[in-house]
Structure 1
Amino acid sequence: MMSGTAGQLGGTAAKSGSKAAIRIGYAALYIVLIAVAVFQIFPLVWLLFFSLKNNQEVFNLPPLALPTNPKWENYAKVWSAGNIDVYFFNSVWITIAATVLTVVLGSLVTYAITRMKWKGSSFVLGLFMVAMMIPVHSTLIPLFNMFNKAHLIDHPLSLILSYVAFNMPITIMILLGFYYALPKEVEEAAVIDGCSVNRMFFRIILPMTGSVIATTGIINMIYNWNEFIFVNTFISSDAYKTLTVGVQNFIGQYTTDWGAIGATLMISILPILIAFLFLSDRIVEGIAAGSVKG
């Protein structure tokens, strides 16, 4: 009896010890995650304080010091006098147009490669994957010559076409695993019911891939919104410039309005940050679905 009781006490102590170790492990994990979160938020806090300062406060105060007199007028100045309202609208519609076009075309290509049987499917897929290895900078001169001959220099279409071309390979790569795992029984039932290929894709396949489409959409959106090289190369008039190059308006030969630059950067960050917050669950779901099912 004594030995049995001692064994029970020993087992209870071991269980309590393991529970304590688990709690300590979770506490350490939360501490690390909080530290990482603070480290990630630090640039945003710094940028907010930066955007509310004048040039003297930017250079004389510590980076995280609150401005003595917050200059909210920096935001009004860049929005109206700095032409940021036009740049913001251009960034929005160009980003949306390029993202939608890339996701739709990428879905069509992926569907044709994964769900249809034709001889050149592997070759076409290989071409798209090879395109991922082409540096953006090496294509600037050929693209400029091509758009110049097509009279698309200083035209938004040059940006949209460039974004679609360079985002298509990564979009297809993300979609591949999900499309390979789609059950063929759904398509077979649709064919038996007399459904055409086009209707099957838009009415059946596309809605089934909503989570992975959200993933590819936010990735395309971030790239298109923050892109600078193509805008700076192909666009020269203020009517078509985007936010990434609009910051240069506040950099002069002799003076630079640093507070206005900070306000412009803050305005450019907010849409992507809001979109990511609303779509973060779908992004994780799409990545997990593509990786596990593929």
Structure 2
Amino acid sequence: MVQSAAAGAGNSYRKYTPSKIVFFLIKWFLILFFAVYTLFPLLWLFITSLKTNAEYFADPFSFPAVFQFRNYVNAFNQANLGRMIFNSITVSVAAVAVNLLVASMAAYPLSRFRFKGREIIFLLFSAGIMVPLNALMVPYFTIFSRIGLLDSLNSLRILYAAIGLPISTFIIRGFMDSLPGEIEEAAYIDGCGFFGRFFRIVLPLSKTGLVTAGTFQFLTCWNEFVYANLLTSSPQNKTIQIGIRYFTNQFTTDYVSMYAAIVIAIIPSVLGYILFQKQVISGLTSGAVKG
């Protein structure tokens, strides 16, 4: 028994070799470094949004003497953020719904059917992921100008739904590939038609992939700035990202109210990812380990 205890102590001692200790310290140093690197700007932004402009200019990294929650009230009053948040929500929800419907219908035949040129078509879809969106500003502006949709939220709904199709199709198709074909075969034998198999079987079973694609699409729509600024001009059609600019004019800038508006603008993105984090990770890994 004494020998067993001594052997156990020796084994536990050998587990912590100098190389393992160094690796352990380096690993946690990198984890803490990237955590601070990621969270510090958000924490600084929130603290600064509760200062006065005088405190901000005196010392940007100090804590406020008194928390100025009225900065958030000023943010709503000065830039009409309520209207802009409503615009962003309606644009994002509509664009996500259209995007998922079209992407799932495109992904279904590319995943469940075998036909000549299937991989070429999928490659063309995937190539759209690599196209920089800013390179298409002139064509998009010309198209929406010709069809009379400039300065309209419908232009943003159509555009956002379209630009997210490549990545959404890629994600949803990868998840559909992991579904067993026997489920559809059994439904076909029972008399279920093409649309029945798609809407009643494949689409519900692909809900994790749909949530993954929908989350990425919502974040893209909510945070997009360039096209929202390009295609809309009147205040009633502006989105939340455009509203942040309203705190800057030719002579002065209300920095603390602008930072409060930025905090308000990023809250839905953070909440969306927190709520659907498990589905996003599950959806990405399901498509990655398909056999």
TM-score normalised to the size of structure 1?
0.90
Looking at structure 1, the residues matched to 178 and 266 of structure 2 have their Cα atoms a distance apart, in angstroms, of 36
Indicate the percent of aligned positions where both proteins have the same amino acid. Answer: 32
* Aligned counterparts of 1:207 and 1:59: Cα–Cα separation in 2: 54
For 2:66, the equivalent position in structure 1 comes to 69
Query: For residues 18 and 89 of structure 1, do their structure 2 counterparts lie closer, same or farther at Cα, with a shift above 3 Å needed?
Result: farther
* Match in the other structure for 1:253: 250
Partners of 2:80 and 2:60 in 1: CA distance? 30
Give the secondary structure class of the aligned counterpart of 1:104: helix
Q: Does 1:177 pair with 2:174?
A: yes
Q: Distance in 1 between matches of 2:99 and 2:144?
A: 19
Cα distance, 1:251 vs structure 2: 0.5
Question: Using the alignment, how far apart are the partners of 1:56 and 1:186 within structure 2?
Answer: 66
**What's the counterpart of residue 44 of structure 2?**
46
Instruction: Call closer, same or farther: CA 1:192–1:272 in 2, change over 3 Å.
Output: same
CA distance in 1, matches of 2:219, 2:60: 31
| Counterpart selection for 2:262 from 265, 272, 284 | 265
Which deviates more, 128-137 or 151-160?
A: 128-137
User: How much does 1:141 deviate?
Assistant: 1.1
Q: 2:105 aligns with which of 99, 103, 108?
A: 108
**What residue in structure 1 maps to residue 35 of structure 2?**
37
1:156 partnered with 2:153 = yes
Measure the CA separation in 2 of the matches of 1:256 and 1:105.
Answer: 43
Q: How far apart are the structure 2 equivalents of 1:104 and 1:187?
A: 20
Once the two structures are superposed, residues 89-128 of structure 1 have per-residue CA deviations (whole angstroms, 9 ceiling, x without a partner) of 1111111111122122111101011112444433322321
Equivalences, count: 289
Unpaired segments ≥5 residues, structure 1: none
Partner of 2:13: 17
Pairwise CA distance, 1:31: 5.4
1:86-165 matches, within 5 Å, as: 86-165=83-162
Partner of 2:54: 56
Residues 18 and 194 of structure 1, relative CA distance in 2, 3 Å threshold: farther
Aligned-CA RMSD value: 2.4
Residue identity opposite 1:109 in structure 2: A
Segments of 5+ residues of structure 2 without an aligned counterpart are none
Give the C-alpha shift of residue 177 in structure 1: 2.2
Q: Deviations over 1:167-218 (max 9, x none)?
A: 1111112223222221111001111111121121111111211222222111
